[in-house]
Amino acid sequence: MHVLILGGTSEARRLADVLVADPALRVTSSLAGRVAQPRLPAGEVRIGGFGGPAGLAAWLRAHRVDALIDATHPFAETMSRNAAAAVADTGTPLLALRRPSWAPQDGDRWHPVPSLAAAADALPALGRRVFLTTGRQGIASFAHLDGLWFLARSVEPPVPPMPSAVEVLLERGPFTLDGERELLRAHRIEVLVTKDSGSAATAPKLTAARELGLPVVVVQRPAAPQGVRTAPDVAGAVNWVRTLAN
């Protein structure tokens, strides 16, 4: 049984580790190729795009894929749509592995917004020194805010346009609570901007912001494609694969 994992997340790597150990399965992980030195999962790996839904459908047929798991980032909206369209064409079973969203706790000062553009609109009223954790591709949405200072953290260097006053911090999670506390204090951060990734590896910044009473602009996730079955964790995805295999 050939399983294709659309990966790039920690859950995708853990899932590949589990499935590769099953001799009845052939596991291929596909990475988008946007990170220069990605953490490679176990099993076969392909890097690069498919060429849209038609290209993915052709790959599923050519490589005789029996099950497709979309374990991409919750904000990889285009890839998730392409996966849903491809399986509608091929009939390949599809599961979306989606970690749960973050939930606000007592003391949080969250400001949910539907997009990066809305996050940029909200910032001037919330603070002047901004900790931006939306990834390198999201920084451009804030380039026009000349009156604010940004600390922008990403795995890879961002590309222009960027805000005129920005310090780029190249780091990869997981991050510690003590480290996030010190970062916010040292840079005198007044407001945090984040996407609702739901990742435990990056959640400590939310706790640190709560402790300091900082407002947090939270970009909400795009809606998942309709009709796609989901699992909240690796265990659920493994059970799905084993059910298909049986």
| Correct CATH for 2-99+224-245 of 3.40.50.11540, 3.30.56.10, 3.40.50.720, 3.40.718.10 | 3.40.50.720
Could you give the residue ranges of the DSSP H alpha helices within the chain?
A: 10-20, 52-62, 77-90, 116-122, 177-186, 204-212, 234-245
CATH number of 109-219: 3.40.50
Distances from the Cα of 69 to the Cα of 15, 16, 72, 148, angstroms = 10, 11, 9, 41
In the sheet where 149-154 sits, what is the strand order? Answer: 109-113, 215-219, 191-195, 129-133, 149-154, 166-170
| Radius of gyration for the alpha carbons in the chain, expressed in angstroms and rounded | 19
Tell which residue, 132, 134, 110, has the closest CA to residue 213: 110
Where in the chain are all domains bearing CATH 3.40.50.720?
2-99+224-245
Q: For the segment 107-162, what is each residue's pLDDT rounded down to a tens digit?
A: 999 999 999 999 999 999 999 999 999 988 899 999 999 999 999 999 889 988 99
Q: For the segment 86-100, what is each residue's pLDDT rounded down to a tens digit?
A: 999 999 999 999 999
| pLDDT above 70 for 7 | yes
Mean pLDDT is lowest, of 14-23, 36-45, 211-220, for: 36-45
pLDDT at 159: 84
**Contact of 173 with 202, CB cutoff 8 Å:** yes
Identity at 210, one-letter amino acid code: R
In this prediction the pTM is 0.88
**pLDDT band for position 33 (cuts 50, 70, 90):** confident
**pLDDT band for position 181 (cuts 50, 70, 90):** very high
Cross-strand partners of 230: 96
pLDDT at 36: 66
28 vs 25: CA distance, rounded Å: 10
